[in-house]
Amino acid sequence: MTTSAHLDATPTSVLPGAEVRIPLELRNNGNVVEAYGFEVLGPAARWATVEPAALSLYPNTSGEVELVVRPPRDTTVAPGELTYGVRVLPQEQPEHATVPEGVLRILPYADFTAELTPRMATGRTGATYQVAVDNRGNYPLVVALSGKDAGELLKFKLPPGDTVVAPGRAAFVKVPVKPKRRMWRGTPLPHVFQLHALPAPAGAAPADPAAGVVPAPRAEGAAGVPGVPAKAPEGAGPEPVPEIAPVALDGTLLQQPLVSAGLIRALVAALALIGLLAGLWFGLLRPAVRSAAKEAVKEPVKAAEAKADDAKKAAEDAKKAASGGSEGGKPKPGASPTPGPSPSPKKPGEGPAPQPQAALFSSRLKAEAPAGGTGTATYTVPAGKVLRLTDLILENPQGDSGTVTFAVGGRTLLSPALENFREQDQHWGSALLATAKQEITLTLTCRTVGHPPSSPAPTKCATAALLSGTLE
């Protein structure tokens, strides 16, 4: 072979964003002057150039060029070892081209940031913060979070496990922060705290927050980073990973009282408004409503009173006519007394004047019946007697629903509904006559049993009738 080329077999390390120069030795073993061109082969070809780009050598002479490698500082440039080659192309004798090979070691670099949002939050029972961790390096990181406040008055709900962040990626972790004690009222209380983001390379030993740095990872490949397939030559150790300092994130929780001053003011204002409305009602509106109601019923009351006066006058005229036109209870001269109906009672409950031989009569009938049933109470006029009924009082003390029928000698005189009264009075100017052995019947038909508010619930309907008059 007329051309020989040599590269150092020891792996050459380079940090992304930096530059490394690798010497390439050439020798022309031929007998003619030879010009050489160069072509870089392999994954590193896009970052590498040969300087100078061409070289001429006389026969039996040697020369040197440099392979310049500039990997970009980018997360896509993963750490590890890359095999590359440089093709040496003789211009005069291209069939004698040669390709020396070498190993390029891409070093890991760390570029880690963390941010807390929001820096200050307000809440009565706590607030939720978000930690954004951004891995701008070229190898995976495992990020552990811890939190602490000076007074140990806060509780931090941290994620149960560590967060793995791939190169060129960001992760967002929510961290709820709550006060250990509740504050019912008072001024808002600020709590200052710190969250620490502790990054470590994937597969590395646990981070030591007290040391302030992260140890280098255990060797897993040629570069000490998992996933690197190539192995370094024997005797060559792994490249150390840069130390990564934990990031401290300052935050503040402004604890608000559970009962705020605004709520107290609103309650006081509501009570004042209620008092004002009550004063307006009792002082202005209620008297005005009462006055308007009185004015509204004044005319109907006057009309009713006028009708009552007319009825009274007509009754008096009828009484005089019935007494044969007597004045002062004495008959007019020449006029014979004419029998007529008994005079009307002067007061409710008073019947006509009894006959001289009459005895005052009073009796109470009581009937009971279950719901949906019927009950009867009866009074029979004694033989040889005549009962003159002037007053009747019906009672419904329980507030039952149904009907009650009052009959004399089998003839129904009254049949009111129970739900329309609790006590009902009946007074007759002309007495109701019940002859000897006639029956006075009180019949109760129960639909619903009532329930007095202050008594136990009854099981039956109950009604009564008080009869008053004279027994002759």
Same CATH fold assignment for domains 112-255 and 359-449+460-471: no
C-alpha 316/C-alpha 308 separation (Å) is: 12
Of the candidates 435, 436, 376, the residue with the CA atom closest to the CA atom of residue 405: 376
C-alpha 248/C-alpha 147 separation (Å) is: 9
Residue 85: the pLDDT is: 93
Q: Are 41 and 83 in contact (CB under 8 A)?
A: no
Residue 359: the pLDDT is: 87
Annotated domain spans of the chain: 3-106, 112-255, 359-449+460-471
Class of the 112-255 domain? mainly beta
Residue 353: the pLDDT is: 54
C-alpha 241/C-alpha 228 separation (Å) is: 14
Residue 342: the pLDDT is: 44
Contacts of 445 (CB under 8 A, 6+ apart): 369, 374, 402, 403, 404, 405
Residue 179: the pLDDT is: 93
C-alpha 364/C-alpha 342 separation (Å) is: 24
Cα dihedral value 209, 210, 211, 217, nearest 10? -30
Fold type of domain 359-449+460-471: Jelly Rolls (2.60.120)
> Which secondary structure element, helix H or strand E, spans residue 310, and what is its range?
helix 286-322
Residue 465: the pLDDT is: 94
This prediction's pTM: 0.47
Residue 33: the pLDDT is: 92
Residue 324: the pLDDT is: 52
C-alpha 310/C-alpha 396 separation (Å) is: 34
Say whether domain 3-106 belongs to CATH 2.60.40.10.
yes
pLDDT along the chain (472 residues), means of 10: 85 93 93 93 93 93 94 92 93 91 92 92 92 92 90 89 90 93 86 90 54 39 34 45 85 87 77 85 79 76 80 78 53 44 44 65 93 94 92 92 94 92 88 91 94 86 93 89
Phi/psi zone of residue 248: left (φ > 0), alpha (ψ -120 to 50 degrees), beta?
beta
Q: Are 84 and 45 in contact (CB under 8 A)?
A: yes
Of the candidates 368, 394, 373, 395, the residue with the CA atom closest to the CA atom of residue 447: 373
Q: Are 205 and 212 in contact (CB under 8 A)?
A: no
> Which secondary structure element, helix H or strand E, spans residue 263, and what is its range?
helix 261-280
| Residue 81, token pair as written in the block | 């070892």
Residue 347: the pLDDT is: 46
Contacts of 232 (CB under 8 A, 6+ apart): 11, 81, 105, 222, 238
C-alpha 435/C-alpha 280 separation (Å) is: 66
| Residue 146, token pair as written in the block | 């811890």
Of the candidates 67, 20, 16, 61, the residue with the CA atom closest to the CA atom of residue 40: 67
